[in-house]
Chain A
Amino acid sequence: MSVEPLIRVRDLQLSLPDMARKPLFGPAPRIEILKGLSFDLPRGAITGIVGESGSGKTTAGRALVRLLQPTGGSITFKGQDITHLSETSLKPLRRDLQMIFQDPMSSLNPRHTIGRIIANPMERYGVPNARQRALETLERVGLPASFAGRFPHELSGGQRQRVGIARAVALDPAFILADEIVSGLDVSSQAQVLTLLRQLAQDMNLTIAFISHDLSVIRNVCSQVIVLNQGLIAEAGPCRQVFDAPQSPITQTLIDAIPLPEIDESWFDTVKV
């Protein structure tokens, strides 16, 4: 039971400058985004992070991969404290901390071929046979190897998101941050991308933080879930427990807000406009 989690977060705090209220001279006032989060990301598990917009879910994710510098608390990755590591010291860890973004059109370089997009990071980390591995990874995410010669704009949204996944998994990382990766996709592409992610996570024993505002999606792909509200954890636990017996009103509100594809005359009864 006492297996060390891949990532351990304790009392994570993060504030950012509020540029909207910055005076002409002098520093911008800081706005507290994360107000003390503590949670573990167990190895090989997909953990959902959910909350309303402004709850801090994206900021929490960015802190996990150290795109943002926490202002307090600690993040431990594989037993190593990475909270305040400099970019230089982070460099050897970067390969293990990969991310997939919401909008693959803006996160894939439009002037590079798909093959180059996937191979480039591998070359940077000195992975041998990067080109060959890129082709293999394409097939692994269900795209034909011939796609290596195409450009992002020639692909559909679902195909582009597969490329985003391929770029991340090609490096064989320990951790992947997936931030709203299906929210721009049609349901059918969404189903394909989620099925793929689940399969890869299982095959490669990936640890994934899966950020989404869609609790139905979270319930389908995650084993545990963290519900954020205004920079604090409102509730966390195994999905079954949180969904079957939500303890926090915000969890209940988020669940009630899901429009299930079935007729329910009383659905609007619970809304507070």
Chain B
Amino acid sequence: MTVPTLEIQSLTLGLKGGARLLRDVSLSVKPGEVHALVGESGAGKSMIGKAVLGVLPPSVQTLSGSINLQGNQLDALSPAARRQAVASVASLIPQDPLTALNPSRRIGPQITDRLIKRLGWKADDAQRRALELLDRVRIRDPQRVMASYPHELSGGMRQRVLIAAAFAPRPKLIVADEPTTALDVTVQKQILALIRELQQQEQTAVLFVTHDMGVVAKISQRVSVLFAGKVMESSDTADIFSHPKHPYTQALIMATPRYTHPDEALRPVPAELIAQLQREIAADDRGAAHVR
């Protein structure tokens, strides 16, 4: 039995004195496994990644549940200890390569800073590791790119830099938050292939946030389907596509256009289904309020 890199148990998040954002979310990710979080906007999929990395907005509070990352019970730690525990184990690949890099600093220090200042690497080692990773994401002239500013690189190149930066500290977990949404399809495929390759080589666990069922099918081994902060269905990716159990999962797959089925009418998620799910969730919330 492999010990999971990340284990989330019954995580419930809410706005201070208000609406719930996540409802009793449990999931685990093993080393070398890609776990996709899929859902529509507002489903809470990014919120899970933020909770793990400890970068929730100040207005959000944890109502219950626990997060265990590489053996550390994060919620039991002091804020400073928690930051250190997360920084040494987890990395983020952000959505927007255009805004994630500091425009006024060269690429090199943007990769090595965290290694040196946060994780205590020697400058030489950090430099070598950064060059190695840039090479592994197929950046042709790593030395030159290290000395470049972000604006000198294309969107696809910048996303490669961010992947290199994420893998540089040898993380056990990577949170990939819609890393290809801003890219066009051919670049998206390259970026997905790179993330997959590095993640397999390094046996990194990946929490992969996406709204695209197509991307889920290609990149992940496990998937959790989210609606309104609640996991509708969680299982092996192969099973989700061959036998989707939950009607919402079925609806998401049906709504995704396929060029191989041009004459199939595009089917939005039925409004009745959404209304029904919302009723169930409201009833759950009332039940939970009673217990408390």
Contact = CB atoms under 8 A, between A and B. Distances in A.
A188 interface: yes
A98 B253 CA distance: 33
Interface in B249-264: 251-253, 255-260, 262, 264
Contacts of B78: none
Centre residue among B185, B215, B216 by max chain A CB count within 10 A: B185
Given A157-B41, A186-B40, A261 B185 contact: no
Interface stretch (A34-42, A120-128, A212-220): A212-220
Nearest to B180: A259
A243 B260 CA distance: 9
Interface in B218-247: 218, 237-238, 241-242
Contact of A273 (B193, B218, B262): B193
A206 to B, nearest CB: 18
A271 B156 CA distance: 15
Contact of A260 (B260, B264, B267): B260
Nearest to B266: A191
B223 to A, nearest CB: 11
A262 B189 CA distance: 15
Contact of B266 (A220, A258, A260, A267): A220
Given A243-B262, A261-B253, A53 B193 contact: no
Main secondary structure, interface of A, reads helix
A195 B257 CA distance: 11
Contacts of B258: 216, 260-262
A52 interface: yes
B64 interface: no
Interface string A173-193: 000000000000011111110
A192 B267 CA distance: 7
Interface of A: 52-53, 157, 186-192, 194-195, 213-220, 239-240, 243, 253-264, 267-268, 271-273
10 contacts: A52-B184, A187-B212, A188-B40, A191-B255, A192-B268, A219-B257, A220-B266, A253-B186, A257-B189, A258-B259
Centre residue among A191, A218, A261, A272 by max chain B CB count within 10 A: A261
Contact of A186 (B41, B197, B214, B241): B41
Contacts of A215: 185, 259
Contacts of B193: 268, 271, 273
Contacts of A189: 268
B241 A262 contact: yes
Given A271-B189, A271-B190, A273-B193, A264 B218 contact: yes
Interface of B: 40-41, 138, 155, 184-190, 192-194, 196-197, 211-218, 237-238, 241-242, 251-253, 255-260, 262, 264-269
A240 B237 CA distance: 31
A171 B94 CA distance: 41
B242 A263 contact: yes
Contacts of A192: 268
B217 A188 contact: no
A239 B262 CA distance: 9
A271 B218 CA distance: 13
Given A188-B40, A188-B268, A194-B266, A257 B186 contact: yes
B214 to A, nearest CB: 3
Given A186-B211, A262-B241, A52 B196 contact: no
Contacts of B189: 256-257, 259, 268, 271
Contact of A261 (B40, B155, B214, B269): B214
Contact of B184 (A53, A187, A220, A262): A53
A162 to B, nearest CB: 12
Contact of B259 (A52, A53, A195, A255): A255
Nearest to B191: A273
A191 B257 contact: yes
B41 A259 contact: no
A64 to B, nearest CB: 21
A190 B259 contact: no
Contacts of B262: 219-220, 239-240, 243
Nearest to A243: B259
Identify the 5 closest CB pairs spanning chains A and B, nearest first: A259-B214, A191-B266, A219-B259, A261-B213, A257-B185
Given A53-B184, A268-B218, A273-B138, A188 B257 contact: no
B214 A260 contact: yes
Given A187-B211, A273-B138, A216 B237 contact: no
A187 B196 contact: no
B184 A263 contact: no
Centre residue among A194, A259, A264, A267 by max chain B CB count within 10 A: A259
Nearest to B256: A261
